Amino acid sequence: MTIKIAVNAASGKMGQQVIHQVAANNQTELTAAFCRVGHRLLGRKVGFQDIVYSSDFDSGLSGSEVVIDFSLPEATFPLLDAAVKNNTPLLIGTTGFNSEQTEKIQNAAKSIPILLAPNTSIGVNSALALLTQAAKMLGKKADIEIIEAHHKHKVDAPSGTAIRMGQAIAEAMGEDFDHLKVTDSRFQKCSRNKGEIGMSVIRAGEIIGEHKVLFALDNEIISIEHKAQNRLCFAEGAVSAAAWLASQQPGFYTMQDFISSSH
Ligand SMILES: NC(=O)c1ccc[n+]([C@@H]2O[C@H](COP(=O)([O-])OP(=O)(O)OC[C@H]3O[C@@H](n4cnc5c(N)ncnc54)[C@H](OP(=O)(O)O)[C@@H]3O)[C@@H](O)[C@H]2O)c1
- Produce one character per residue of 226-242: b if its CB has 16 or more CB atoms within 10 Å, e if not: bebeebbbbbbbbbbbb
The 10s digit of each residue's pLDDT in 222-260 is 999 999 999 999 999 999 999 999 999 999 999 989 998
With bands split at pLDDT 50, 70 and 90, how would you rate the model's confidence at 186? low
Q: What does pLDDT average to over the chain?
A: 95
Atom of ligand 1 nearest to the CA of 9: 43
- Ligand 1 centroid to 10 CA: how many Å? 9
Q: Kindly state the DSSP code that residue 35 receives in the 8-state scheme.
A: -
> Above 90 in pLDDT, residue 262?
no
Q: Using the mean position of ligand 1's atoms as its centre, give its distance from the Cα of residue 144 in Å.
A: 30
So what's the pLDDT on residue 187?
Answer: 66
Indicate if 150 belongs to the active site. yes
Q: Return d(Cα 180, Cα 183) in angstroms, integer.
A: 10
Given 13, 20, 85, 154, which residue is catalytic?
Answer: 154
Give tens-digit pLDDT for 73-102: 999 999 999 999 999 999 999 999 999 999
Going from the N-terminus, what domains does the chain have, and what CATH number goes with each?
3-120+231-261 (3.40.50.720), 122-227 (3.30.360.10)
Element (H, E) at 221: strand 221-227
Does the beta carbon of 237 sit less than 6 angstroms from any atom of ligand 1?
no
